[in-house]
Amino acid sequence: MKTKLKYILLILVFFECKKAEKKDSYSEVRKTLEKVLENDQKYRQKAIIDWQKQGSLDKENLEIVTKIIDSLGWLGENKIGHDANLALFLAIQHAYKLETMEKYLPILKEAAKKGNAEKGQAAYLIDRIELLNNRKQIYGTQYSIRENGTAFIENLIDSANVNSRRKSMDLYPLEDYLRKIDSSNNAK
């Protein structure tokens, strides 16, 4: 009986070590993506955004992220952590290249289905793609700011049912979203 227990414990330890080893195998990818996230927000956090500098960083970030996704797939938080996973999304979202966004949208959707990305991220990318294609947005994620600092949503399809669509993507109601944007803009 003690021998069986020893074998069971050895097997459990072996599998735990393998899990830790696999997670550590992404440590360099995680570090790289955490730097991508830092660079993604570097000039966006300023009161006046330096679009030339940010655009250059966005281009570099996109190259890094697309190489990672193309070779490893869309890695989830369980492998690379929250910030690195967020960097994957933001680099694609901020690509401002329609063909790139359209290429990675199905990959993001599949990752969200598997729990490797947030459904809300897919909603943001879908809306951006819709607007860039001169169509109406579906989830109301893309907003503009008036001179007085209040946010508003334009080009929204079927606005009466937007909150049910938002809920299906784990997004909070549009009214709450706009209030949050308004308060962050008025705080500056």
Number of independent structural domains in the chain: 2
pLDDT surpassing 50 at residue 9: no
CA 68 to chain centre: 14
In the structure, what pLDDT confidence band is assigned to residue 21 with cuts at 50, 70 and 90?
Answer: very low
Same domain, 113 and 186: no
Question: Would residue 126 count as lying in a domain?
Answer: no
Query: What integer is the mean pLDDT of 125-140?
Result: 97
Residues 6 or more apart in contact with residue 4 via CB below 8 angstroms: none
Query: What integer is the mean pLDDT of 49-72?
Result: 93
| Alpha-carbon torsion, ordered 81, 83, 89, 92, to 10 deg | -120
pLDDT of residue 15: 53
Between CA 130 and CA 126 the distance in angstroms is 6
pLDDT surpassing 50 at residue 10: no
User: Hey, CA dihedral for 161, 166, 169, 170, is it positive or negative?
Assistant: negative
Name the more confident of 19 and 143: 143
Helix (H) or strand (E) holding 143: strand 143-145
Same domain, 101 and 51: yes
Same domain, 32 and 113: yes
Provide the residue range defining the domain that includes 92.
27-117
φ/ψ (deg, to 5) at 68: -65, -50
Model pLDDT for residues 138-155, shown as the tens digit of each residue: 999 999 988 888 889 999
